[in-house]
Structure 1
Amino acid sequence: MKKLITVATTALVLYSSASFAHFQMIYTPESALSKGANIPLVTLFTHPFSDEHTMDMGTPESFYVVHKDKTKDLKDSLQPIQWQGNANRAQAYKTDYKARGMGDHVFVLTPAPYYEKSEGAYIQQITKVMVNVAGLPTDWDKTYGLKAEIVPLTKPYSIWTNSTFSGVVMSEGKPVPFADIEVEYLNSDMDLTNNKTEKTKFSAPQDSFITLGIKADENGKFTFGIPKSGWWGFAAMGVGPDTTFNGKELSQDGVIWVQAKDMGE
């Protein structure tokens, strides 16, 4: 009986983890700008499809932007805020950025590890998002040698709905074969004026549709079909070299967000 209970409990934990994945976000409304502009940026740790819980972020380890191979530190510009999700409030961060020059502006966030009590482990999701100005491609396909990283093979800011997104999972500049990748859709509008998540738009027919699971091939490459316009998050799980923090297990993940558009939008 004890063995059966243990097996059942383990299965429940794995099921819950797979169904309600954590995703670090760097959110801004638009990834493809026709001209330079001041853009808002919010970093929050949440469940983008179901929004049943938003997690408190600690002070990020680093936050910077790369534009035409030049790096600008943005960490000191981050202002702590309370973000209101559909279930709770949690600490997040907010800033504005002048996306002036033509080309790609690649934002890279290394958050503080988050302790997930239900799993008895830490999570650190090193996250990228890209904003392009005026259509000139410059930095989008480069690797930044991050401990955990998804390097896009598709421009992440010029994706039509019903096309595909491809990337390579890397750790410290080297491909990670057969990496597990979780995929979620941002299922709510984001109110940046009032720092809150609006109500979710769609329900899933079954919990396995909340967090989709795919695997990279032997070269770390993957491709995913984009069925709906909006923001999509990809998280390569546990691919970083750091496996412990404060004496407990650490999952060091690589995350990238891409935005799809409907033709005629």
Structure 2
Amino acid sequence: MLKRCLCLSLLFLVVFPAGAWAHFGMVIPSQSMVDQNHRQLTVDFSFSHPFEGVGMVLERPERVTIVKQGQVTDVTSELVSTTIMDKKGWQLEYAVRRPGVYTIGMEPKPYWEPAEDCFIIHYTKTLVAAYGAESGWDAPAGYPMEIVPLTRPFGLYAGNVFQGQVLYKGEPLAHAEVEVEYYNREGDATAPTPYMVTQVVKADANGVFSYAAPKAGWWGFAALHTADYTMEHEGEAKDVELGGVLWTRFSKWQNH
């Protein structure tokens, strides 16, 4: 039996090497809905494999912003270095003082991934609703690559169908591939097969995709596209993978 398990483990590593795991930019606030009892947000910024709980180094982002009703606040200077999944990440403390929908977004520095022979730039965001306000959740953030929610991205139950639209340079990206992954923060979820670590859905001709989250918690949606430019690495031009990443929290159904 032990020999069989070792063989299966080796097969797992050969067929699904660690370098092939999906990368996700991560912006995870302490809550997705703010009320009078929870006014302070702690926001974690990382670059990781969320299901496996394996982190990568995230250098200080190029820019972190909070957008409310079109007003952009740059909070990059307020980031504090921290450790997330045993790797360098960043943290922000932010007091939510007024009602509104807050889009917290990160533009990271390009990340060189030797396993994929390309640079990775994941424009990552999440939305937080405060004090009963909910207008503006479907407004684009203006990133070169992003997912605009078509389902209100807060106040969701596990099992709800979530829809989003993939935009590239502000226009719908037809048939975009979207990777979906659960943030296995407690490490209590297991995948019966490696194929089920990262779910994959494809957008339609209008860039619209749908997904029903089977478990409560934070779920990341990453739309991927190769940029129309290259970046130099050791004297060679390399492709750039652009990601538009959206993190959304689904909650358990509450009974009396």
Q: TM-score, normalised by structure 1?
A: 0.84
C-alpha deviations, 1:99-133, integer Å up to 9, x for none?
12112110110001111122221111000101111
Q: Where do 1:26-65 residues align within 5 Å? A: 26-35=27-36, 37-51=39-53, 53-65=54-66
Q: Partners in 1 of 2:30 and 2:43 — Cα distance? A: 8
Q: Where do 1:217-228 residues align within 5 Å? A: 217-228=204-215
Q: Partners in 2 of 1:97 and 1:124 — Cα distance? A: 25
The alpha-carbon deviation at position 244 of structure 1 amounts to 3.5
Among 131, 139, 144, the alignment partner of 1:142 is 139
User: Helix, strand or coil: the match of 2:134?
Assistant: coil
Counting aligned pairs with the same residue, the percent is: 31
User: Helix, strand or coil: the match of 1:149?
Assistant: strand
Given residue 249 of structure 1, which amino acid in structure 2 is its aligned partner? D
Contact 1:19 1:208 in 2 (8 A): no
Partner of 1:66: 67
**Residues 1:202 and 2:189 aligned together:** yes
Which runs of structure 1 show a deviation greater than 6 angstroms over 4 or more consecutive aligned residues?
none
Q: TM-score, normalised by structure 2?
A: 0.87
Among 92, 97, 103, the alignment partner of 2:94 is 97
Partner of 1:22: 23
**Residues 1:79 and 2:80 aligned together:** yes
Partner of 2:10: none
Q: Partners in 2 of 1:56 and 1:261 — Cα distance? A: 29
Q: Which runs of 5+ in 2 are unaligned?
A: 1-12
Given residue 79 of structure 1, which amino acid in structure 2 is its aligned partner? V
Contact 2:227 2:240 in 1 (8 A): no
Pairwise CA RMSD: 2.0
Contact 2:66 2:102 in 1 (8 A): yes
**Residues 1:188 and 2:185 aligned together:** yes
**Residues 1:123 and 2:120 aligned together:** yes
Partner of 1:154: 151
Distance 1:241 1:74, change over 3 A: farther
C-alpha deviations, 1:15-50, integer Å up to 9, x for none?
547962111111112101223612111101111111
Given residue 29 of structure 1, which amino acid in structure 2 is its aligned partner? S
The alpha-carbon deviation at position 81 of structure 1 amounts to 2.0
The structure where strand makes up a greater share of residues is 2
Q: Partners in 1 of 2:224 and 2:14 — Cα distance? A: 16
